[in-house]
Structure 1
């Protein structure tokens, strides 16, 4: 027992350390788990003598992964993408499997080995690709839709492969009988579960949910998932297939999203353990003996698979650029390759040495994927001449739309927050120009006459075409810190004086975003909690003016720019045209009179102007003291009436 606990503690410590390093290097956590298994396993440092202790528990990681895939199996979504899924996706899986099988036959292996290898190498990493495309905001791009459609068919193709591989190693007649029996069993199980299960699942979950116990709900999810998986295993099928069917049944109920959130910690933890055990099974001595086979397999997996998927995407009518990007996204092995290879080896279908070669090749191809996607834009521009024309035409379209715009607001993202902002800007007669990566949303907004175009706001050329150099402000309306940091970096280099307002989900990344140059960061949770608090206080009988005062005091403390603006309801109701205090930014360029001098040396108070904030590179925005010395490149945010602001700007820049 002590030995088991020490091994587990060692495994957990190594996993935590390695995943932290991977996160710091912007790499998926999956890499950390694979590397941990490779290092501590019996074939490397041998810190853990055998991987058998964790193998059975790790198998449940695959069970929960298949369960979440079942939750995603939506007939409406499948129907909308049927040409990509059953056309491009099916072509990719079948063509890849046939090519690999043919290569295995030429190498002297049996067709059964070739079929197992083909099925395994046809898979790509659903977990890795979907995460990387999400981080790059490319899920709704043409190549993102292609990739998701192909991955969906690959996930569906895993199900028959899980049934076939365990019986392929049997003698001829016995194999055919086993395949026929397995097919009959799966038909019976599907009919029973999908008919009887659909009738029972919704009322059963309703009964459990009425008890209002999160603990009971979680226990019920585990019971259903593992129970159906156990039933399919009793029928001679696999645990993973049962979990997939359980996910499909729950996907038809209104509890799908709650179940997905509840099951995610179990799935991620056990799937991480699964990848650790995969790494532990990697035998480096076998790799040293068969390095040329690993290199040959890698050549097919990365360049070969990229070329194959690119050609198939072109055949299905995609332009050269999106076709090549689809290939780059899917030119790796996937997590289900490990499952299929393990099944083939356990059934005596595949030699252990060949299994080691395949595992090494898949692991290395997955390690290369983030770097391939990182440089995919440059590679596409280099290999596809028409991509330059397409990009130039797209940028030209954006530039033409914004050519006459002056003093507009660049809105990055046109979702619900972006559309709400646009309505308010329209009411104030402030022009705006929005960028979004959802083609359907852009089409609908364009038909309604809105100034919205398709474009990635995280790219310098797109921001320039959107009139960044002529804009008054830039707003990032979607809560994606990684993308927002890229936009802030470019905006700070091109227009350091221009205010950039960023939306985020909570307070976690506020300091990071402000240090990167954000004039203000708006957290959804804070604003939602303020609205909740205001309605609660009013319902409890607290006077309206006292509620407004409470909310204003919180906002004054939270938002530096708002300090001094909350002057009471009388002024709030003033709709006259008389000059009112407003914010104005002043950039201290080279030769400005204020450089090297303190703020108190300028009589801004006499102009009825107040310094509300100062932005300096690599510093959070702050309200400077009177003796604060100004430097070149500082951005001062002033509060005052228009006449005083104009005089203050001249004083700071010219000294008179």
Structure 2
């Protein structure tokens, strides 16, 4: 029996993964987005489709970890300073949208004949848009970091915060709730204690813990620690009676200025993506087709009415807060649906006696169908104005992010390189895998993140895709070459500068297609030799002529080696022999080489 149970469980796992693998590429090819693909896959394999799953609620509860991890990653991007700058959007725009839309939906429910408590809970549940759907669409559009994306995140944060008072409201108005004033105050105290505890742990304990783990250089332990932080913070908030997603978000904010931020993001991202996909599949499974069929006219009317009324409220609030017509329409497109927190609120209303079983089924189906329709509507709107979306409010995403330079390695070479860039005012994002170096550099005011530059997920989390330039300043030849090849393959248009160890390494980097490489000892050795000549009484003009001649010969020797004429490891070639003829060096489009080629000597050493 145990074996049979295990086999059935494995069938379910294969069905979940297989449904996503088949549906998502198909729906993406049709231009309908990944979210609708996941929803449809869930309907097909769920209890009202092939019947491979009989209890989608269990899967939905587990898959909510994907939403929790999504909020953690969003928190990592939201430093306290950034949150402070967004305070008007969060507590002004977000609160206005929730209150105004909630009031409109409640009045519409009362007008339709619902009792005030039922209309209030149904309307407020529909107000809470789906964080997962909105963020997934923003990510697919590439708008997460644009002003539209930042304001969307602000509204989502306020909506996530709203679930706490809304659950308390359900408890107060529920007919099954007795006189629990004392227990409610106790619950408030427990919730505040959980928040304070999480802040204390995040502020003073997490960074030392990650420092110890990073020094051990056990990657799997760092991944386990990242999962522990996310799930532990969510559990602490759940024990305190608060939103697990908000606990994860708060943990992310507390770690947003940590040196381990990029490593954490890279470790969590694969789990987030898989669990979020399973969450959407589970939502599709939860759609009660029997209830929809029994009351299909009522469900259809509820979907249309709730969506139109909420859209009107969102548009009005957007215009009142200074948004243009285009941004207001974009915001309506993103937020017109219900969200996953509605399931939590409706379940509490059912348990408290505010909803009966039929009302819960109808309102839950309304939310799910609205979530499924949103990617379709958004895709249509998005396609109608592709050119406009690329430059939202005149701020291009690349323009906003391309001022940051990514530097991999902060050793003796990288430290000197960074000084010129910082002096010019460039923002330099530095990653280093030596914990002691990070700790030492922090005492001099440098902010360096822990990360392994040979991992593509770390590079993506560090902003490599949007960097103005990538600088590889490590002294490990093999690792530097591997990084250069990976960057050139994954980010072919990004300027790539690499520190070469010696001539043989320089040739490897040229073959890898770097834009600029320099042997780390070349310039210092040239300066050293020139100073020796001067101290021996050689006139300055002659020293300069000798320097130019050495550089020219080095250029031509390196060019000959690039073309395969001389052994790549041959650094010692007679200086007084015949000079090789000028050569044309093969180069990648856009690569800085020079005519004979001049810059190779400046790159070499």
TM-score range, shorter chain: 0.5 to 0.7
Structure 1, 136-145 or 257-266: larger mean CA deviation:
136-145
Give the deviation of 1:537 after TM superposition: 8.4
- Could you say which residue in structure 2 is the equivalent of 1:315? 320
Aligned partners of 1:36, 1:166: CA distance in 2, in Å? 35
Q: In the alignment, what sits opposite 1:330?
A: 335
Cα 1:137/1:226, change in 2 over 3 Å: closer
Unaligned runs of 5+ in 2: 1-5, 406-425, 427-463, 467-485, 499-508, 526-552, 569-583
Report what 2:362 is aligned to: 357
The structure-2 alpha-carbon separation of the partners of 1:279 and 1:104, relative to structure 1 and needing over 3 Å to count, comes to: same
Q: Give the Cα–Cα distance (whole angstroms) in 2 for the partners of residues 52 and 361 of structure 1.
A: 17
The CA RMSD over aligned residues, in Å, is 4.4
1:440-459 equivalences in 2 (<5 Å): none
Give the structure 1 partner of residue 157 of structure 2: 152
CA distance in 1, matches of 2:175, 2:250: 27
Q: CA deviation at 1:303?
A: 2.6
Match of 1:255 among 257, 260, 284: 260
1:367 aligns with 2:372: yes
Equivalent of 2:104, from 95, 99, 102?
Answer: 99
1:70–1:251 contact (8 Å) kept in structure 2: yes
The match for 1:580 is none
Query: Residues 249 and 562 from structure 1, CA distance in 2 versus in 1: closer, same or farther, beyond 3 angstroms?
Result: closer
Q: 2:597 aligns with which of 566, 569, 594?
A: 569
Question: Residue 299 of structure 1: CA displacement?
Answer: 2.0
Pick from 17, 26, 29: which aligns with 1:12?
A: 17
Distance in 2, Cα, partners of 1:46 & 1:303: 34
Deviation at 1:572, TM superposition (A): 9.2
1:275 to 280, 283, 294: 280
Corresponding position of 1:54: 59
Q: Tell me, yes or no, if the aligned pair for 1:334 and 1:366 is still in contact at 8 Å.
A: yes
In 2, the alpha carbon distance for the partners of 1:109 and 1:225 equals 40
Where do 1:66-145 residues align within 5 Å?
Answer: 66-133=71-138, 135-136=140-141, 143-145=148-150
Partner-residue secondary structure (3-state), 1:303 = helix
- Separation in 1, partners of 2:7, 2:326: 57
Q: How far off its partner does 1:295 sit? A: 2.0
Determine the C-alpha separation between the residues in 2 that align with 1:134 and 1:9.
27
1:251 match: secondary structure: coil
Partner of 2:483: none
- Structure 1 residue 348, shift from structure 2 partner: 5.1
1:264 to 248, 265, 269: 269
Partner of 2:529: none
Aligned 8 A contact 2:39 2:372 in 1: no
1:230 to 229, 235, 243: 235
Whether the 8 Å CA contact 2:234–2:246 is kept in 1: the answer is yes
Displacement of 1:238 after TM fit?
5.2
Asked if structure 2 preserves the Cα contact closer than 8 Å seen for 1:71 and 1:256, the reply is yes
SS at match of 2:358: helix
- The whole-number CA distance in structure 1 between the counterparts of 2:226 and 2:337 is 33
Pick from 37, 49, 54: which aligns with 1:32? Answer: 37
Bigger relative CO (Cα 8 Å, ≥ 6 apart): 2
Change beyond 3 A, Cα 1:178–1:271: farther
Per-residue CA deviations over 1:182-207 (Å, capped at 9, x if unaligned) read 22211122223323541222222222
Cα distance in 1, alignment partners of residues 255 and 403 from structure 2: 34
C-alpha displacement of 1:88: 1.7
CA distance in 2, matches of 1:260, 1:412: 21
Q: CA deviation at 1:261?
A: 2.0
| Distance in structure 2 (CA, Å) of the matches to 1:569 and 1:117 | 72
User: Matches of 1:505 and 1:167 in 2, distance apart?
Assistant: 57
Alignment of 1:157-176 (within 5 A): 157-161=162-166, 169=174, 171-176=176-181
CA contact (8 A) 1:479 1:505 kept: no
The whole-number CA distance in structure 2 between the counterparts of 1:58 and 1:136 is: 24
